[in-house]
A = this chain, B = another copy of it.
Amino acid sequence: MRVELLCTGDELVTGLTTDTNSPYLEARLFELGLKVQRVVLVGDVREDITLALREAAARSDVVIVSGGLGPTADDFTAECAAAAAGVPLVEDVGTLQFLRERAVKRGRELTPNVARMALVPEGSEVVPNPVGAAPLFILRLGGCRLFFLPGVPREYRALVDGEVLPRVRAELEKRPGRTYRAFRLLRTVGIPESVLDARVAPLAAAHSRVVFGFRTHAPENQLKLMAEAPSQSEADAALAAAEAAARHELGRAVYGADADTYPVVLGRLLTEARATLALAESCTGGLIAAQLTGVSGASNFLLGGAVVYTEQMKTAWAGVPADLLERHGAVSRPVAVAMAEGIRAACKTTYGLSVTGFAGPTGGTPEDPVGTVYCALAGEGMSTRCERFSIPGDRDLVRLFAASNALELLRERLLTVSAP
């Protein structure tokens, strides 16, 4: 089955936006055993979009198109689709009704530009958008099926997962002689990409059906395992063997797999341990709290988080003695320790976690230059642990890695106490 992707939008051909929709869909299709043949990006130019639609339809069995379905003047993909198919645009009654109700719910009128989103090429199948306004429509052009999706990543992904992939899978299952694939993403923290590569690459020889790939997404490094085989069971078995070997090699550096996220995994560990947490953040400035509270249920374990940029608030909220701050400076081992212990006492939690450091670009001292971060973990039945890190990179990177280094102290502790 030949599949192509077509993405429209001036922002995609002028360097304003990086196309992240296509890699998302490519990976999902690859899991189904499909390698995308071609991805085409075109600007908001009617003739270019119409031509690209015709060309892609002539080459492919399936074309997945995104962008240009919104209410604004530069949204005209439906028009181009109609032109490419040689049919008129027609109003979809169900969509119009949906848009009207949606406007009313938000206390607005249905404006003509919003109502335009109900116009689809004649003969389209129309599927409602579960998380936005513009619907998905599906159009046949010769032997090709074209799916038209909004470009907003949240809506695109919801429609890809809920509507496009099930249809593609059904189509695929009707065809003989296909390749089967299986896929695992192992998520690691604390190992640089080159070290990850050097440790894992020697495994590849013993797993010829599996491709080993690497991806950096600071502060994580990810190992991608892709197995190909003539049957699903062989692909699954090859993947399982390679995954076991990689996990054995990497140990605790692997914090999760596939759709796991670091905050979700940490939240699970805390919940399983019936432990609670308090945070005292200086240079990370609320980043750790924001990460943890991004997950529903964080209120079960995160009792309090203090962003303590100033010495006064370090004293007021985290109980750091003023003379300690004066003697050692705010970025120091004794202050990190006092912050972790003080915040734990203030919030009456199982654990207290602290971060203090120089995120840059200004600040720092000769002994503790920009990038120096102290993280400390205080807890029930343990002596407070404090680590010093030297993190290269800009302010964003220092903050990201400071947050992840601090949380690693907690994860290690939770894994140790839960180990049988």
Residues of A whose CB lies within 8 Å of any CB of B are: 10-20, 22-28, 30, 35-45, 48, 52, 55, 70-74, 106, 111, 113-114, 131, 152, 154, 185, 193-194, 196-198, 201, 204, 211-216, 224, 226, 279, 281, 284-290, 292-294, 296, 298-299, 302-310, 312-313, 316-317, 346-348, 359-362, 392-397, 399
A39 to B52, CA, bound (A): 11
- Give A187 Cβ to nearest chain B Cβ, in Å: 12
* Overall SS of chain A's interface: mixed
A24 to B296, CA, bound (A): 33
Residue contact A27 to B12, C-beta cutoff 8 Å: no
Residue contact B215 to A16, C-beta cutoff 8 Å: yes
Query: Which one of B16, B37, B307, B392 lies within 8 Å of A307 (CB-CB)?
Result: B307
User: Chain B residues near A196 (CB, 8 Å)?
Assistant: 72
Query: Which one of B194, B293, B395 lies within 8 Å of A286 (CB-CB)?
Result: B293
Given A13-B38, A43-B35, A303 contacting B293 (CB threshold 8 A): no
Most buried by B among A38, A307, A317, A399: A307
Query: Which one of B45, B70, B106 lies within 8 Å of A193 (CB-CB)?
Result: B70
Given A12-B39, A18-B18, A287 contacting B290 (CB threshold 8 A): yes
User: Chain B residues near A197 (CB, 8 Å)?
Assistant: 71-73, 113
A201 to B299, CA, bound (A): 45
